[in-house]
Amino acid sequence: MNKITTVIVDDEPLARKGLAIRLSEYTDLDIIGECINGSDAAAKIPQWQPDLVFLDIQMPGMNGFELLQFLHNKQHKIPVIVFVTAFDSYAIKAFEVHAMDYVLKPVDDDRLMSAVNKVVHYFSAQQQQLYKDKLAHLVAGITGDSCEDILRHLAQGTPIRISQFADTLAIKDGSEVTRVAMKDIKWIDAAGDYMCVHSSIGTHIMRSTMKELENELDPRLFVRAHRSAIVNINEVSKMVSRISGEYHLILQNGTEIKVSRSHRDQVKALIGV
Least confident stretch, 7-21, 48-62, 187-201: 187-201
Mean pLDDT, to the nearest integer, of 214-238? 87
d(CA 85, CA 64): 10
- Higher-pLDDT residue of 226 and 44 is 44
Q: What percent of the chain has pLDDT over 90?
A: 33
d(CA 259, CA 241): 10
Contact 225, 259 (CB under 8 A): yes
Q: Quote the pLDDT of residue 137.
A: 64
Per-residue DSSP letters for 52-107? Answer: EEEE-S--SSS-HHHHHHHHHHTTPPPPEEEEEES-GGGHHHHHHTT-SEEEESSP
Q: What's 273's DSSP letter?
A: -
pLDDT tens-digit readout, 146-171 = 666 665 665 666 655 555 567 788 88
Q: Quote the pLDDT of residue 2.
A: 84
Task: Give Cα separations from 252 to 187, 223, 239, 255, 263 (angstroms).
Answer: 11, 16, 11, 7, 21
- Higher-pLDDT residue of 52 and 260 is 52
- Higher-pLDDT residue of 77 and 137 is 77
Beta bridge partners, 195, equal 190, 206
Characterize the bridge pairing of strands 4-9 and 29-35: parallel
User: Would you say residue 235 has pLDDT above 60?
Assistant: yes
- Strands (E) located in the chain: 4-9, 29-35, 52-55, 80-85, 101-104, 168-173, 176-181, 185-191, 194-199, 202-207, 222-226, 229-232, 236-241, 247-251, 256-259
- Map out the domains of the chain with their CATH numbers: 4-129 (3.40.50.2300), 168-271 (2.40.50.1020)
Least confident stretch, 146-155, 178-187, 202-211: 146-155
**231 confidence band (pLDDT: 50, 70, 90):** very high
pLDDT, averaged across the chain: 83
Mean pLDDT, to the nearest integer, of 234-240? 88
d(CA 142, CA 239): 30
**243 confidence band (pLDDT: 50, 70, 90):** confident
Q: Quote the pLDDT of residue 21.
A: 95
**129 confidence band (pLDDT: 50, 70, 90):** confident
> ∠ CA(205), CA(217), CA(212), 5° rounding?
60
User: Would you say residue 67 has pLDDT above 80?
Assistant: yes
124 three-state secondary structure: helix
Mean pLDDT, to the nearest integer, of 213-233? 87
35 three-state secondary structure: strand
263-268 own/partner pairs: CB under 8 Å, 24+ apart:
263/223, 263/224, 263/225, 263/226, 266/223, 266/224, 267/223, 267/225, 267/231, 267/239, 268/239
- Higher-pLDDT residue of 177 and 175 is 177
- Higher-pLDDT residue of 99 and 94 is 99
